[in-house]
Amino acid sequence: MPAAQLQATQWRARAAAHADRADALTAGHRARASRGEKHPVEDFLFTYYSYSPAVLRRWHPGPGVELLEAADDPRASWRWYTDGSTPGSLVVDRAAVEAEKAPQLAAIERILRSTAARPGRFGCFGLHEWAMVYRQGEHRHDVPLRLGQAATDAVVEAAELRCTHIDAFRFFTPDAVPLNRFAPTRETQPELEQPGCLHAGMDVYKWAMKLGPLLPGELLLDAFELARDIRLLDMQASPYDMRPWGAEPVRIETPEGKAEYVRRQRAFAERSNALRARVLSAWRGGQADGARGDDD
């Protein structure tokens, strides 16, 4: 028997609310895309992670939830759905998902648990973005540097680079690579990921997306919101001048800027760990309730 059953009125209301929330979260991006406009802060969530607004708005109930009177719903043709124990119902075929994706899911679980279990590091000050432009004339973003190239390079040289995240470190310029205290690789990712890392916090969204129907849709959107909020700080603390896009700089080259960065970094570490716990509980515990909690 399923862990829970949802009447048609219940699950249809949740699916509609999810789609409305997803549409609101992606409205700006979709409007800009229709005009061919770019946004160096928010586009990251759709280009680097490459998940479309259409994927975001697709609601799943999570494992162990039987959707009554769903046989005529379009999701009956979606992958990973199967008949429930009640005639005309549908459930997520958890066993099939986990059998096909076993290695990937094991890696995701390991990263989520190990990241949440270790203490956060709060001394990086977001310098990964600075290391990506260090001594380099061409940059990933077509946006002016706040301090200019020479002064930006000087900030990097006066600091200690402490990046622990492979997907930030792999974009370091060749001259910046030997300046980093760590040498992250894909193989060492589970050992180096830690909750103070902004990119590890944003990646909770990536893991939620990869878990797909194994998570309630509400959790996916919570993870998207977390990634969106972290991305703003990521670019505010970067060497780029983001003020034309409404992102006032966090001047990590000053003591005051460092203090602000760490304060917000610690808050995101707490928020991301709370979300990691909810993801693991909903997936591994099979809980049906993906409603937003205090971490939001």
* C-alpha span between 244 and 247 (Å, rounded): 7
In a domain, 130, yes or no: no
Question: Which parts of the chain sit beneath pLDDT 70?
Answer: 1-3, 286-296
In a domain, 263, yes or no: yes
In a domain, 269, yes or no: yes
pLDDT for residue 293: 35
Q: Per residue in 18-69, pLDDT tens?
A: 999 999 999 999 999 999 999 988 899 999 998 999 999 999 999 999 999 9
pLDDT for residue 195: 97
150: its two tokens: 């020479």
pLDDT for residue 2: 55
pTM: 0.92
Main-chain phi, psi angles of 120, to 5 degrees: -80, 150
In a domain, 50, yes or no: yes
Distance of CA 90 to the CA centre of its chain: 29
Domain containing 214 equals 4-121+191-284
Number of H helices, E strands in the chain: 12, 4
In a domain, 89, yes or no: yes
In a domain, 216, yes or no: yes
In a domain, 202, yes or no: yes
Domain count of the fold of the chain: 1
Contact 212, 26 (CB under 8 A): no
pLDDT for residue 185: 96
Q: Per residue in 68-93, pLDDT tens?
A: 999 999 999 999 999 999 999 999 99
pLDDT for residue 291: 37
- With the C-alpha atoms ordered 139, 245, 237, 264, is the resulting torsion angle positive or negative? negative
In a domain, 87, yes or no: yes
Nearest to 43 by CA among 58, 28, 54, 23: 28
